[in-house]
Amino acid sequence: MAKPDILVIGGGVTGTITAITLAEAGAKVTLVDAGVNAGSDANAGSLHVQMQSRFMRLYPDQVPNVEAALPFYRAAAEEWVKLDAALGGVELVRKGGLMLAETADQLAFLEKKAAREAAKGLSVELLDRVSLDRIAPWLGPQIVGAELCRDEGKLNPLLANRLLKRRAEAAGVTRLTDRVTQLRMTSHDVEIDTPDATLHADQVVIAAAWGSGDLVNAFSVTLPTRAEPLHMNITEPGAPVINHLVQHAERSITLKQFSSGQIVIGGGWPATSQGSHAPPTVRHDSMLQNVALAARLAPAISSLKVIRTWAGMNTTIDGASVIGPLPYTKRIIMAIPGDAGYTLGPLVGRMAAQIAMDAPTDFDAGPFSPARFAN
């Protein structure tokens, strides 16, 4: 294989966008992907913008990072709107996201949250039950109100992945299925080991999600990428009535309806990891509790049948994305979205490509520099 200018590690949404951006700008790009446990293959296609209560509860120490990044989330959602047009439609619907409250306390929490988010430029509004009934009449009687974030939406990730893959192919990206085991700097380029071959490239972009931490240890950077196995459920199709992305002020849930009429229920319930070479397996308690919660919030869906569950690998870091060159090794550039990675992936991937090309970035990459993890 001829030596590429740039080698991208990881073929999820982030790495694919990086590869497309670089190749369309004229670079010779090779993409290496291990072909297993891509969050992009398992994700539910929610465009997250408002602060997720699940995240705030699980990782309170990371909330400041997330809050600071709110304009970034909004820009990422805008990036998807552009992609939707560029790719010829990924069933993107942007009617907003509802975060439900069942108690006065929860509503008060949402009110404070909404004020913080509005200060960061998000389009949010608090709805009482009467206004909710107009847009979401299928909610359970115990729901007292909700926060509506108009920046949020949903799309079909299976379709998006397929179109992205085609676009990369058309742009001339060479795709290899292999697992990178080690990176080394030579005097003039980067040497890349896989079990099958040793490759060389002038620059490397690491968009390997949970696999990224191991690859940069050798460069005096401790990147705490954590693989988080998560559970999803999907139903048979029903009449299209749920327009919004639905979440809860206190409990882990996302619920939405695809354009296929199917309802997807998830929101961060755990699955059982089988390591990095096989997909995680489904836990009965996650399935039961996740679906039961959905049934309580939206009793209207309880006549529908769940036809499948699956589990996939999410990646968390510290609440903020990691974008930019390694502190001591400029030839290696990181592109890891962190939480809500499918939402952030395209923007993160594009910015990493811009950095590799020494071009100005769409958004200030400063706060996302890997330098914060230098030993």
Partner 1 sequence: MTKITFTFQGHAITAKTGQSLAAALTKAGHRNFRETAKSAERGMFCGMGVCQDCLVTVDGKPNVRACMSPAKDGMTVTRQVPFPAFTGSAPPPSDPLHLTPDVLVIGGGAGGLSAAIAAAKAGARVVILDERKVAGGQYYKQSADGSVLDAQQGDGADLVAAAVASGAEILSGVEIWGAFDPLLFLAQQGETPIIARPNMAIVATGAYERPVMVPGWTLPGVMTTGAAQTLWRSYGTLPGQRVAICGSGPLNLQVALELTRGGAEIVRLADRASHPATRPLAALAMAVSGPMLTLKGLKMELALRRMGVAVRSACDLTGVAKQDGALAATFQGAGGDEETVTVDALCMNAGFEPQNEILRLLGAKMHYDTKMGHLRCQTDPTMQTSVSGLYAVGDCKGLGGAPAARVEGTIAGAHAAAASGFGDAYDLHGAQRALTRHRRFQSRLWRLYDIAPRGVAALSGDTPICRCEELTLDDIQVGLDDRPGHAGTLKRATRVGMGRCQGRYCGPVVARMVAETTGKPIEDLSFFAPRVPIKPVAISAILAAQEALDGEA
Q: Contact positions toward ligand FAD, by CB under 6 A?
A: 9-15, 32-34, 36-40, 42-46, 48, 157-158, 179-180, 207-209, 211, 215, 230, 232, 234, 262, 266, 278-279, 307-308, 310, 312-315, 337, 340-343, 345
203 vs 233, beta carbon nearer partner 1: 233
Q: Does 171 interact with partner 1 (rule: CB under 8 A)?
A: no
Distance of closest approach, residue 11 Cβ to ligand FAD, in angstroms: 5
Token code pair at residue 151: 């920046």
From residue 326, alpha-carbon distances to 9, 116, 222, 234, 235 in Å are 15, 32, 11, 40, 43
Q: Among 172, 261, 270, 327, which residue sits at the site for partner 1 (rule: CB under 8 A)? A: 261
DSSP assignment letter at 359: P
145 vs 203, beta carbon nearer ligand FAD: 203
142 vs 177, beta carbon nearer partner 1: 177
- The one of ligand FAD, partner 1, none whose footprint includes residue 303, by CB under 5 to 8 A per kind, is partner 1
Identify the H or E element spanning 124. Answer: strand 124-128
Q: Does 158 interact with partner 1 (rule: CB under 8 A)?
A: yes
Which stretch, 87-95, 185-193, 209-217, 235-243, contacts partner 1 (CB under 8 A)? 235-243
Provide the pairing of β-strand 198-201 with 190-193: antiparallel
Which stretch, 59-67, 69-77, 80-88, 297-305, contacts partner 1 (CB under 8 A)? 297-305
Q: Is 69 left (phi over 0), alpha (psi -120 to 50) or beta?
A: alpha
Whether the CB-CB separation of 265 and 233 falls below 8 Å is answered with yes
From residue 252, alpha-carbon distances to 48, 124, 183, 207 in Å are 14, 20, 38, 27
Q: Return d(Cα 221, Cα 217) in angstroms, integer.
A: 5
Distance of closest approach, residue 279 Cβ to partner 1, in angstroms: 7
81 vs 306, beta carbon nearer partner 1: 306
Q: Among 243, 289, 361, 369, which residue sits at the site for partner 1 (rule: CB under 8 A)? A: 289
Distance of closest approach, residue 162 Cβ to partner 1, in angstroms: 6
Whether the CB-CB separation of 343 and 254 falls below 8 Å is answered with no
106 vs 286, beta carbon nearer ligand FAD: 286
Q: Return d(Cα 182, Cα 369) in angstroms, integer.
A: 22
Which stretch, 12-20, 112-120, 158-166, 346-354, contacts partner 1 (CB under 8 A)? 158-166
Q: Among 71, 172, 238, 367, which residue sits at the site for partner 1 (rule: CB under 8 A)? A: 238
37 vs 203, beta carbon nearer ligand FAD: 37
Q: Does 296 interact with partner 1 (rule: CB under 8 A)?
A: yes
Token code pair at residue 54: 């699940």
Token code pair at residue 83: 């992609």
Q: Return d(Cα 241, Cα 236) in angstroms, integer.
A: 14
68 vs 278, beta carbon nearer ligand FAD: 278
Q: Does 172 interact with partner 1 (rule: CB under 8 A)?
A: no
Distance of closest approach, residue 12 Cβ to ligand FAD, in angstroms: 2
Whether the CB-CB separation of 284 and 31 falls below 8 Å is answered with no
Indicate the burial class of 300 (C-beta count within 10 angstroms; 0-12, 13-18, 19 or more). Answer: middle
* Exposed e or buried b per residue across 24-55, where buried means at least 16 C-beta atoms within 10 angstroms of its C-beta: beebbbbbbbbeebbbbbbbbbbbbbbbbbbb
Identify residues 32-71 at the interface with partner 1 (CB under 8 A).
Answer: 35, 41
Q: Return d(Cα 338, Cα 142) in angstroms, integer.
A: 34
Q: Does 205 interact with partner 1 (rule: CB under 8 A)?
A: no
Where does this chain bind partner 1 (CB under 8 A)? 35, 41, 138, 158, 161-162, 165, 177, 235-241, 260-261, 279, 282-285, 287-289, 291-292, 294-296, 299-310
